[in-house]
């Protein structure tokens, strides 16, 4: 019998809950980043601008909108979420936090916070959506991170950093420069840093190790 060639077809399926990554460049000396829910990893970068790689996730990941532009003298990246409750399983089943969010995606500034109330829940009804961010910061830049729910990790950044976190843990390792952290609920762990440090927390543990 004549031989028959066999063709094997490999198909790569991407999870429906994971949308394509998005890249952003934020020029200028002062940058502010706003995200309602997710993990934020901040590290030392090169070049002249802060760069952000955003990974939308969740069943409604496609509903996220990303907006850039100058606000109050800072170049901003704002992640705008759909209306209604936001489901972010990482905070734990039965957990929730509330954040007032403006229409442009900003929050955390009492003078500007006149927007809708957003409830972030660990389970239940709502839009299953969040965004994880990787932020690269060149030396000497000033970066503000606003996050309602999730976690922030910082590694070896030389610059001025400010964090406004509603319900999120913060870990900072290494680096030089000023660090200001305003945390509603969450643990703060700072080690190996050199520079002014100010921490204001509503609840959670604070641990400082080898801080100059």
**Token pair belonging to 38:** 């997710």
Phi, psi of 191 (to 5 degrees): -145, 140
Dist. CA 168–CA 186, nearest whole Å: 5
Instruction: Specify the pTM.
Output: 0.89
Placement of tokens 């031989």 in the chain: 3
Q: Could you tell me if 152 and 40 are in contact, meaning their C-beta atoms sit under 8 angstroms apart? A: yes
DSSP state of 45: -
- The strand ranges marked E within the chain are 22-26, 30-44, 50-57, 65-71, 74-80, 86-87, 96-101, 116-121, 127-128, 130-137, 142-155, 160-173, 179-185, 188-191, 197-203, 206-209
Strands 130-137 and 160-173: unpaired
Measured between alpha carbons, how far is residue 123 from residues 87, 97, 184 in Å? 6, 12, 21
Dist. CA 64–CA 207, nearest whole Å: 35
Closest to 182 (Cα-Cα) out of 210, 208, 161, 201: 201
pLDDT in tens, the chain (212 residues): 444 445 444 444 445 455 689 999 999 999 999 999 999 999 999 999 999 999 999 999 999 999 999 999 999 999 999 999 999 999 999 899 999 999 999 998 755 557 889 999 999 999 999 999 999 999 999 999 999 999 999 999 999 999 999 999 999 999 999 999 999 999 999 999 999 999 999 999 999 999 99
């Amino acid at each position: 019998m004549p031989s028959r060639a066999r063709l094997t077809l490999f198909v790569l399926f991407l999870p429906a809950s994971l949308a394509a990554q998005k890249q952003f460049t934020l020029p200028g000396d002062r940058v502010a980043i706003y995200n309602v829910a997710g993990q934020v990893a901040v590290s030392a970068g090169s070049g002249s601008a802060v760069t952000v790689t955003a990974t939308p996730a969740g069943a409604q990941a496609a509903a996220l909108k990303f907006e850039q532009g100058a606000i109050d003298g800072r170049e901003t990246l704002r992640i705008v979420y759909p209306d209604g409750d936001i489901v972010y399983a990482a905070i734990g089943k039965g957990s929730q936090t509330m954040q007032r969010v403006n229409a442009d995606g900003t929050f955390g500034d009492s003078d500007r916070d006149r927007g809708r109330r957003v409830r972030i829940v660990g389970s239940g009804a709502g839009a299953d959506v969040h965004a994880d961010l990787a932020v690269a910061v060149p030396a000497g830049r000033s970066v503000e991170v606003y996050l309602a729910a999730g976690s922030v990790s910082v590694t070896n950044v030389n610059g001025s950093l400010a964090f406004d976190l509603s319900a999120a843990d913060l870990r900072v390792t290494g680096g030089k420069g000023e660090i200001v952290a305003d945390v509603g609920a969450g643990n703060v762990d700072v080690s190996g840093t050199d520079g002014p440090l100010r921490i204001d927390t509503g609840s959670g543990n604070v641990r400082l190790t080898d801080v100059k």
